[in-house]
Amino acid sequence: MKKQDIPMVVSGLLLGSALLLDAMGMTSLRDGSLAIASLIALLPIGRKAVGALRFGMASIELLVTIAVVGALFLGEFSEAAIVSFLFLFGAFLESRTIRKTRSAMESLIKLAPSSAVVLRDGRRETVDILTLVEGDIVEVRTGQRIPVDGTIVHGSATIDQSQITGESMPSEKTIGDSVYASTILQNGYAEIMTKRVGESTVFGNILKRLEEAQDKKAQTQRVIEKFAGWYTPSVVVLAIVTYLISRDIRLALTLLVIACPGAMVISIPVAIVAGIGTMAKHGILVKGGESIEKLAKINVIAFDKTGTLTIGKPKVSMIHPVEGDESSILNYASIAEHGSSHALAKAILAKAEEMGIKPSNIASNLDVLAGYGVVAVGDFGKIIVGNLRLAKQNETEFPIEQLDSYSTLTQTYPTCVFVLLNGKLLGYLILSDTLRDDTQETLVSLRKLGVQEIHVITGDSAASASQTLGPLGIDRIHADILPQEKADIILKLKKRKKVAMVGDGINDTLALNESDAGIAMSSDASEVAMKTADIVILGEKVESVATAMRIARFTSKVLKQNIVISIGTVFFLIFGVLLGKVHMDTGMLVHEASVLAVILNALRILRKK
């Protein structure tokens, strides 16, 4: 039990004992128990009321304090005890709800490692995490948490990244792969070169982002708080006027009690915190309630292509034979590309491995022609793997009669390389970026959520973008676009719609800034992405965009419901009191029921997927 909950518990016990005493006919003891229960509950309420008055604010606690003191003065001990207890109970439910939704962040804080094993001068040292610097090599074994953001330089491992990216399945990591602080190395061994430590890690940024999000208020919340600011003194004035006209102090006190806008004040915060917590569980970070409200209103989404809808890495998507078969084309291409670090070379070698093809020979001489291709010489003769620009050079021995068909092929497949063996054209390898597995399903989900238009803004050529995105049913593809031009497109779309921009947070910075809701998809969760976007999606699942919108729209729906419940209840009770149909005990019961209703309604957000 928390210290602040003790007055509520004691007051509740005394209230319960008063009911027993009443049943036993012990009215004096009953009234004493009720009076003590009222005073105990009134202490924290009155303290808050006085604190608010010092800053010139008339809070809802002031209404309750006046009502309880007045009831005690009139000898209405049961009303005083019920009013004060139910008010504390409502505050307890509110704080419990907020604590529950913040539990995800609290559990994250406990995950942060405090020490690391660092390899220095051939020795292993256990050091404080804060002493690590960029470039340090740390060692992580099975079952341990990774202490830093970095790159694996030795070893391989299975890593559980669910706390960071929201991925349910562990990821296989090896040399060259990025890893994140506070993720768990489930199996294997890894030596990791430190890139970021402490607050600058992805994990540190998550905690910082969540803490900031808790404090940022939604537009609706700010409006409601302003409304509550003038509402309280208005009710006090109304109660005074009611007394002056009716000369009925009980009526005036009842009006004060049941007019307390408790449900109205908490209706927005509990929903917003629930929304933030739910998104965090899915690996989605938001700046605050305002970002949730913005996302809920979006009806147009613009995506960057590379690294967002696509994996961002080239892949051999088609083999086009001319005088060779697929196996021979890949075999000779892999001989020429063996050992190269170029992205296209890696794609060709990966395709060969996928098809079970190992290079049948090794080149004795390799000449890399930057921007054109590669020439390999060995026992097999001469292999040339290159692009159209290289084919147009006479010294490549490319068959002149094939040049026109090759040119035509590149118009459909912009990244198309030829494979030439001793002057004979074996065929072409067509490479393209690959759509993420969940891209198609995500776009369908967005349509169902009410997104009217989906745009793609990319720096790729129109042919390349159309080849990759053709099956998706995109409303419009904006190709050959520079970073500053992306922002201009967003501004044009904003003139008629509410627009979200989804990008990687680096070359899309301007567009993210100009959009109504900027969403950064970033496996590295770069600092630029964190600072620029309203929402940051950790990991590489584009379906998280639909998840974020689904939660945002549901949260917005709950906000509206809570406002209707809270304001509607207050005005219903005020008119009920003035008409003589509602009395203090029933009025307070209905009032606290409305508090419970908005809290339970907000808790539904926690179950949203």
Amino acid making up residue 59? S
CA distance 503 to 198: 26
CA distances from 568 to 234, 328, 357, 560 (A): 17, 76, 72, 12
Integer angstrom CA distances of residue 65 from 22, 94, 115, 178: 25, 19, 51, 58
Q: Distance (Å, rounded) from C-alpha 390 to C-alpha 418?
A: 9
The one-letter amino acid at 398: F
Contact 469, 309 (CB under 8 A): yes
Clarify whether 304 is annotated catalytic. yes
Task: Name 148's Cβ contacts closer than 8 Å, sequence gap at least 6.
Answer: 116, 129, 132, 136, 138, 181, 192, 194, 195, 196, 197, 201
| Selected catalytic residue, list 136, 149, 304, 534 | 304
By the 10 Å C-beta count (0-12 exposed, 13-18 middle, 19+ buried), 305 is classed as buried
Give yes or no for a contact between 301 and 287, defined as CB atoms under 8 angstroms apart.
no
DSSP-assigned beta bridge partners for residue 430: 318, 416
Q: How distant, in Å, are the alpha carbons of 73, 403, 477 from that of 66?
A: 10, 92, 64
How many CB atoms within 10 Å of residue 382?
16
Q: List 105's β-bridge partners, or say none.
A: none
Task: From residue 340, give the alpha-carbon distance in Å to each of 153, 336, 366, 381.
Answer: 19, 9, 10, 19
- CA 230 to each of CA 56, 60, 224, 234, 256: distance values in angstroms, whole numbers, following the listed order: 12, 11, 10, 6, 14
Residue 445 CB coordination number (10 Å): 17
Q: How far, CA to CA in Å, does 232 sit from each of 227, 243, 256, 323? A: 9, 17, 9, 86
Distance (Å, whole) CA 268 – CA 271: 5
Residue 139 phi, psi dihedral angles, 5° rounding: -105, 135
- Give the torsion sign (CA, 433, 318, 331, 172): positive
In sequence order, the 6+-apart residues with CB closer than 8 A to the CB of 550 are: 445, 449, 608, 609
Query: Which positions are annotated as active-site residues?
Result: 304
